[in-house]
Structure formats: structure tokens, C-alpha cells
Chains A and B, each alone.
Chain A
Amino acid sequence: MTASQAALEAVFDAAVAADERIEPRDWMPDAYRAGLVRQIAQHAHSEIIGMQPEANWITRAPSLRRKAILMAKVQDEAGHGLYLYSAAETLGTSRDELLDKLHSGRQKYSSIFNYPTLTWADVGAIGWLVDGAAITNQVPLCRCSYGPYARAMVRVCKEESFHQRQGYEALLALSRGTEAQHAMAQDAVDRWWWPSLMMFGPPDDESTHSAQAMAWKIKRHSNDELRQRFVDIAAPQAESLGLTLPDPDLKWNEERGHYDFGPIDWDEFWNVLKGNGPCNEQRLSKRRKAHEDGAWVREAAAAYAGKHDGRHGNDNHGRDDAHGRHDEQHTHTHGEAGA
């Protein structure tokens, strides 16, 4: 390491130690940048793939009110994906590059979205448990050391908390409904509980990125700490819902001041992560198909912008223009306006 690099690193370390925010133009270690790109991209991908299991029920939602709530939620998820891709782009990557990595399987998304939504109650269970777990993970990220990510998280968390309450409320309606509805709710919670606990990632002693991420204040708490926090919140909520959680070992531990809970099936977790979950193939195929089927639309928008940039300079729809195009074409389109 050269002397000037050491000096830069010292400034960076001091800023992190003082809880200051790192901003896009600040110097940062390459590994900090790469780690953030990986994490933010995976987060963005999760929002985009996460639309699928819920969108699966939009056309079948059992009341118009629930349909409207679900549509709004899926729309919010696309919006969250957009904020997060923008945050990642401040680190010198592009949305196209990240989507490419998602489509080719080089970047991951949250393993939870590889489980199927088999009944309407799954939509409620996802809102309550999956969004609940996401919020537990994401609230500390609002204080993450990288400014653009922290700010994106503030907006995302507000909307997620709203979705979580709606999910809880949808499950409550089922739980208090007919016998068949109650059974539907219980079945959904039985299927989503363990996958939700897996959302916090591997146990601390197997988590490869954790120590460094915590040292850099990207992460504030360990996987196991957050998982425990989530169980402590969810267990009493399950009770007030009138539903049980599928864990015979779950019980309050007075001494620890926490709920004890049973062992997680890590084989299943790693298997889903490797691409062998129930819906991995289906989720990625659908995403790739949407992208491929949309190529002619993106090409049309870019070609149109190429012809009309000069005349429609203020047309804010023009932001759609270059999606999915290679950088070279992108530059061409925007660099030779009106050519």
C-alpha cells in the first residue's frame, strides 16, 4: 500500500468510526465498494423477483379491497427495486449490468422467493412474516455507513412496515373467518415460518461476509441477533393472530429474556440457495422472459429517443429510453441527439 493510499484509508476508517456517512465521491476501499454492490444488487433483485409470488394472486384476490392493496404492494416493490438499483449505480455499476448478472445467475436474490404461493393466505403470510423479517433486517440498514443505501432504506422501510401491517390484518381476517379460512391461514404460516427465519442468512459462525460488513458498519447486528429479534416479535403476534408457529421447541425463556426456538434445516437453506428450491427455475425464467420479450420495446424507445431527443428534451418518459441496451448504444443514443 502506498503512503497516499494509507492516508485515504485512514480518512475512510475515521469517518466510519465517527458514524459519518460515506458518499459516492468519497474514497472507499475496493472491497467496501464491491461488498456494497453485491449486497445492494441482491437486495434490488429480491424486490424484483419478490413481485412474482405475490403477483401470482393479483388476478385472483378475493375482494376488490384486497386486490387494490396487493396491486399497490407489488407496485411498491418495483419502486423499491428502482431506488436500490439507483443506489447501486452510485458505486459505478449500471442497472443493465446488474440485471444481466441476475439473469445469468451470477448474482443472487433472497432465497425466500423460491417458495410458491399456493393459497390466498400465502399473500398474508408473506406480508406478515417475510416483510416482517425484511424490516427487522432493514431497519438497522437505515444507519448503514453508505449514505445512498441508508437513505434508500429509510423510504423502503416506511412502505414495508405498512405492507407488513396489511399482511397481518389479512391473516387476522382469515384466522377469524370461517373454519376453511382459518385452516388456510394456519397452513400458510406453517409453510412460511421456517423459510422466513432463513432470510437472516446462515448462522454467525458460517456467515462469510458478516465480520467485515460489521467492521465497516454496513451491517449493525449479526444474523443470529436479528433472527432472535424477529422470533421475539413474531411469537406473541402469532398468538394474537390465533395461529400457531410450527416449532415444538418454541417457548419463552425467562432467564434469557428471549424465545428459544428449534433448529433450522440448513441443508434446505443451502439447497435453495444453490438453485434447487421449489421455484428457482420458474422465477428466473419468468424474469428472463419478461426481459427478452421486452427487448423490442426498449429498442423502440431508444430508437425513438435517438430520433427525437432534440425536440423532446424535457420529456421525462425519455428516461425509459436506454434500458437493456449496451453502453455503446446508450452513449450513441444520447450522445448524438437528433442525428
Chain B
Amino acid sequence: MTARTTTGDAGATTVPAATLALGDDALVLAQRLGEWAGGAPVLEEEVALANIALDLLGQARVLLSLVGDEDELAYLREERAFRNCQLVEQPNGDFAHTIARQLYFSTYQHLLYRRLAAGDSPLAGLAAKAVKEVAYHQDHAEHWTLRLGDGTEESHRRMQAACDALWRYTGELFQPLDGLDLDTEAMERAWLDSVTAVLGRATLTVPPGPRTGAWSAGAGRQGLHTESFGRMLAEMQHLHRSHPGASW
């Protein structure tokens, strides 16, 4: 992947190649969360899930616009050209799966944006704004992890199953990101500490399995996705693709 160069008055700024990956993460998770609309377990969660989806979509639009035209990038790339991690493309499943996916991802995104906000990359400004949103997302996911983990027997069983099922997709989050100077090993340790603590408080056990699938480490970042992703894109893109060149 090559970094796009944008020229402004102040001269050329190089956008890190990882910008596309971070934009795709936010876009794809927003799309998944959008599938919940009208189907959430309580009305307050209709509001909360839509709110999180909107924040993520907002982040995606800023990030993709740094790379090129947001709609071209969202609607006219095929599956192999998407750089999102596999975690965010995982189907919603039941509410526990959605919460486990959100816990893993928001914890990661919070660590990432805090670091980016403190740095001097072209993403620092965006990260400083997004970090407040992401802190809310993480808080929301943590509270639900506690309620489901330490709720009823059934909710405990479902939450544990969800945490276990998604665990293998979390290793990918700490692959180095092209063009960003991040201590991903330190991030990974902080992530493990944070998630381990929340799972413990929720009376859940840290999943025993490996944090990567047989060949999935970094796969999403290379455009290698899971099977449900293509179907998600087909739905997302079909209308835009049916009217080439139209504006909306």
C-alpha cells in the first residue's frame, strides 16, 4: 500500500498508510452496529448502539477523506482492498457477541488514540477528538460486560462464549501499523491488563485459546478477510454501485 500525499499551503503532508486501515476499522464496525437499529434489547441500547455507530462513522469519514474520496473508498473497493482488522467485521451474533467485540475493539482503540493524540503524526488532531468518544464506547462495553458476565447464569454463559469466540481475532490488533510510530508491544500488554481486569470483575475467565487463528495474524490488514465480510460489503455497496457516477 502506498501513502497518498496531500499538498496544502503549508507544503506536503504525508498521510501514514495505516490511515486507511484505521478508517476501515471504524467504517466496518459502524456498519455492523447499524444492523442493530430497531432490534436492540432495550430502547436505551437503540440510542447507545446508534450513537457509537455514528461516532465510528464520523471517524471513518475523516480518516478516509485523508486518504482520498470517502465514498469511492467505501463503496468502490472490493473485499481484498479493505484493510480493516478481522475483529470488526465479525457478525453481530447475540448481544453478548456485539458487546465482546466492542470491549476488545474499544479498549484497543482507546489505547491507540490516546497514544496518537500525544504524538505528532498527522492523525494527532483526529485522535484527540476521537479519544473522548472512544472512552465512552469503552465504558459502555465494560459496563455491559459486567452486567452480562455477573448477571444471570444464562447471560454469564453467553458472555463467556462470546469472549472465547472472538479471542482469536484480537492478536491482529497489535501488528505494527504502517507509517505510525507506536510501541505495539506495550499497547498489547496494556490491552491484556485492561481486558483481563474487566473479565475478572465480570466473573469471566480469560479465554484459553491463542489470540490468532492459524494464519490470521495481520490478515485483515493485508486484505484477507473472513467469509461474512464479502456479504456485508455486497449489502453496503450495491445501491451506490448500481448508479455509477451519481451523487446523492
Residue positions of A touching B, CB distance < 8 A:
48, 51-52, 55, 58-68, 71-72, 74-75, 78-79, 81-82, 85, 120, 170, 173-174, 177-178, 180-181, 286, 289-291, 293-305, 307-308, 315, 317, 319-320, 323-324
- B213 CB to closest chain A CB (Å) equals 26
Instruction: Name the B residues within 8 Å of A120 (CB-CB).
Output: 239, 248
B57 touches A71 (CB 8 A): yes
Is B235 a contact of A180 with CB atoms below 8 Å?
no
B interface residue numbers (CB < 8 A to A): 27, 31, 34-35, 37-47, 50-51, 53-54, 57-58, 60-61, 64, 70-71, 74-75, 94-95, 140, 143, 146-148, 150-152, 154-155, 158, 235-236, 238-240, 243, 245-248
Bound Cα distance from A170 to B58, whole angstroms: 19
Question: Which residues of chain B come closer than 8 Å to A303, judged between CB atoms?
Answer: 151-152, 155
Q: Please judge, given known A-B contacts A178-B246, A180-B243, A304-B147, whether A58 and B44 are in contact too, CB under 8 Å.
A: no
Distance of A297 Cα from B158 Cα, bound (Å): 10
For A85, the chain B residues whose CB sits under 8 A away are 43
B42, A297: Cβ atoms closer than 8 Å: yes
CB neighbours (8 Å) of B60 from chain A are 64
21 pairs, CB–CB < 8 Å, chain A vs chain B = A51-B46, A55-B37, A59-B235, A60-B238, A66-B248, A68-B54, A78-B50, A79-B47, A82-B43, A82-B44, A85-B43, A177-B246, A290-B39, A294-B41, A296-B154, A296-B155, A297-B45, A297-B95, A300-B147, A301-B151, A304-B151
Total residue contacts A-B, CB cutoff 8 A: 158
Is the pair B240, A71 in contact by a Cβ cutoff of 8 Å? no
Q: In the complex, what residue of chain A is closest to B64 when comparing beta carbons?
A: A64
Q: Which residues of A contact B45 (CB under 8 A)?
A: 294, 297, 320
Query: What is the chain B residue whose CB lies nearest that of A305?
Result: B147
Among B39, B61, B154, contact of A64 (Cβ-Cβ < 8 Å): B61
Interface pair A62/B42, CB less than 8 Å apart: no
Q: What's the Cα separation between A66 and B42 when bound, in Å?
A: 26
CA distance A74 to B39 in the complex (A): 12
Chain B residues with Cβ below 8 Å from A55 are 37-38
Interface centre among A48, A51, A82, A173 (most CB of B within 10 A): A51
- The answer on a CB contact under 8 Å between B57 and A62 is no
A178 B148 Cβ-Cβ under 8 A: no
Q: Which residues of B sit under 8 angstroms from A59, Cβ to Cβ?
A: 31, 34-35, 235-236
Q: How far is the CB of B43 from chain A (nearest CB, A)?
A: 5
A67 touches B38 (CB 8 A): no
Tell me whether A52 and B54 are in contact (CB under 8 A).
no
Does A74 contact B61, Cβ atoms closer than 8 Å? no
With A64-B74, A71-B57, A299-B152 as given contacts, are A173 and B43 in contact (CB-CB < 8 Å)?
no
Which B residues are CB-close (under 8 A) to A298? 41-42
Contacts of B155 in A (CB 8 A): 296-297, 299-300, 303
Q: Is the CB of A75 within 8 A of B51?
A: yes
Query: Contact between A296 and B152 (Cβ–Cβ < 8 Å)?
Result: yes
Shortest CB distance A105–B (Å): 18
Tell me the nearest residue of chain B to A47, going by C-beta: B43
Interface centre among A66, A78, A81, A181 (most CB of B within 10 A): A78
Inter-chain CA distance A313–B148, complex, in Å, is: 18
Q: How far is the CB of B76 from chain A (nearest CB, A)?
A: 12
**Are A320 and B44 closer than 8 Å at their CB atoms?**
yes
In the assembled complex, the Cα of A64 lies from the Cα of B248 at a distance in Å of 10
B235 and A60: CB pair below 8 A?
yes
Residue of B nearest to A290 (CB): B39
A301 with B147, Cβ < 8 A, contacts A62-B240, A63-B71, A63-B240 known = yes
CB of B233 to closest CB in A, whole Å: 10
Instruction: Report how far A296 CA is from B236 CA in the complex, Å.
Output: 30
Residue of A nearest to B96 (CB): A297
What are the 8 A-B residue pairs with the smallest beta carbon separation, nearest first? A294-B41, A300-B151, A300-B155, A75-B50, A55-B37, A78-B46, A297-B41, A55-B38
Give the residues in chain A near B240, CB-CB below 8 Å: 62-63
Among A79, A301, A315: residue with most chain B CB under 10 A: A301
How far is B247's CA from A177's CA once the two chains are assembled, in angstroms? 7
Contact of A304 among B70, B146, B247 (CB under 8 A): B146
Cβ-defined partner of A173 (8 Å) among B44, B54, B235, B247: B247
Q: Which residues of B contact A299 (CB under 8 A)?
A: 151-152, 154-155
